[in-house]
Amino acid sequence: MPKFLDSLPMILSRSLDRVMPSYRRLFQANDLTDQQWRVLRALWEKQHLTSAQISQITLLPPPSLVGILDRLEKKNLIGRLRSTEDRRHIHIIPTQKGRALMEHMMPMVESIHDDFMQRVTAAEWDEFNRILNKLSEPTKKRNLA
Amino acid sequence: MPKFLDSLPMILSRSLDRVMPSYRRLFQANDLTDQQWRVLRALWEKQHLTSAQISQITLLPPPSLVGILDRLEKKNLIGRLRSTEDRRHIHIIPTQKGRALMEHMMPMVESIHDDFMQRVTAAEWDEFNRILNKLSEPTKKRNLA
DNA sequence: TATGAATTATTCATATATGAACTAATTATA
DNA sequence: TATAATTAGTTCATATATGAATAATTCATA
């Protein structure tokens, strides 16, 4: 009984390792990293977001986000705009080039997603989400012995 | 319908982000990173493994493994031993100190695992694994348009 | 309204991920 | 058996993760 390989972290990591290459080929073909795409994808839903909002949506930690935004900005895919109301906030806005890239990639990204969805029934997908949520929903901190 | 947050990669990433802190507090209390623990955990099952075997078991990419092993070796938790039959292979072996640390941590790691398992029934856990495997099982390379 | 607390983005140090390339050792083949 | 192809571990360059700390700004409150 190799419990290690069946632990929750290893199961989730292994699945991620298996799922990501399908997406990554598309990202690389468009000169993007996984994380850079995540930021663009977040901006697809809403055109201007602050760094903190992007961090929350994409799950990218703020210190990582700084560099990711730097590189997206250098590629002229996004712009940074400091807010006038609250000068601590910086709005991230896709450029024309950024929007064009998003429009180009979105159908292919959705197609990959649909391919994965077709592997299971809608009921299975719901059940999967329900159980995974039970397994991983946030909780109080655990005491260490 | 924010399909992005419900995509397979984001769901898996979010769950990992929620699960890992429970473990990480224990790892940090013992001056280990997630990955360093993974290597020790792999050596728990079998005392001598080659780098390639560890990489496969732990899902750690070989270039990362080099540094991880370096740091474990520097902490005197493992040793590297070049094979005499095939001098390309390097056997990784836990030291006495490494074995002691594993013995100390294993019960707590298992306890954390058990806590997660108690969140779902055995049937749910099986169903979860079955669906996740369907979702993420390896496949042929996908054509890009 | 001065002053401490909270917030936002950032920097820093260290560790890891990713893909390409490289070295030494071994195996397969002409 | 010389030579090409493989294999194991590693190095390199670049990008990201993690946790602590910091600067600038705003908020709360005495």
Q: Is residue A1 part of a domain?
A: no
Chain B residues touching A8 at Cβ < 8 A: 19, 113, 116
Q: What was the pLDDT predicted at A3?
A: 86
B9 touches A: beta carbon within 8 Å: yes
The whole-angstrom distance between residue B14's C-alpha and the CA centroid of its chain comes to: 17
Q: How many angstroms separate the CA of B24 from the C1' of D18?
A: 11
Q: Using the predicted structure, report yes or no on whether residue A129 has a pLDDT greater than 60.
A: yes
DSSP A87-141: TT-EEEEE-HHHHHHHHHHHHHHHHHHHHHHTTS-HHHHHHHHHHHHHHH---PP
- Asked whether residue A28's C-beta has any atom of DNA/RNA strand D within 7 A, the reply is no
pLDDT for residue A102 is more than 90: yes
Q: What is the CATH number of the domain that holds A37?
A: 1.10.10.10
How many whole angstroms separate alpha carbon B36 and alpha carbon B69?
Answer: 8
Confirm whether B144 is domain-assigned: no
Strands, E assignment, chain B: 49-50, 78-82, 90-94
- From the list A6, A13, A142, the residue facing B22 with the nearest CB is A142
Q: Is B81 helix (H, G, I), strand (E, B) or coil?
A: strand
Is A51 within a domain?
A: yes
A11-32 residue pLDDT tens? 999 999 999 999 999 999 999 9
Let me know if residue B71 belongs to a domain: yes
A13 occurs within a structural domain? no
Pairing of strands B49-50, A78-82: unpaired
Task: Confirm or reject contact between B138 and chain A (CB < 8 A).
Answer: yes
Instruction: Please tell me the total count of domains within chain A.
Output: 1
At a CB cut-off of 8 Å and minimum separation 6, what does B60 contact? B35, B38, B39, B54, B68
With distances taken from each CA to the C1' atom of nucleotide D9, the closest residue turns out to be B88
pLDDT in tens, chain B (145 residues): 658 999 999 999 999 999 999 999 999 999 999 999 999 999 999 999 999 999 999 999 999 999 999 999 999 999 999 999 999 999 999 999 999 999 999 999 999 999 999 999 999 999 999 999 999 998 754 443 3
Q: How far is A69 from chain B (nearest CA, A)?
A: 19
The gap between B81 CA and D7 C1' (Å) is 18
**What domain range is B62 assigned to?**
21-133
From the number of C-beta atoms within 10 Å of its C-beta (0-12, 13-18, 19+), residue B89 rates as middle
Please check whether residue B118 lies inside any domain of the structure: yes
Q: Are residues A37 and A27 in contact, defined by beta-carbon separation less than 8 angstroms?
A: yes
- The answer to whether residues B54 and B65 touch, using CB atoms and an 8 Å cutoff, is yes
Sequence-separated (6 or more) residues with CB below 8 Å from residue B24? B34
Residue B11 lies in a domain: no
Domain membership of residue B4 (yes or no) is no
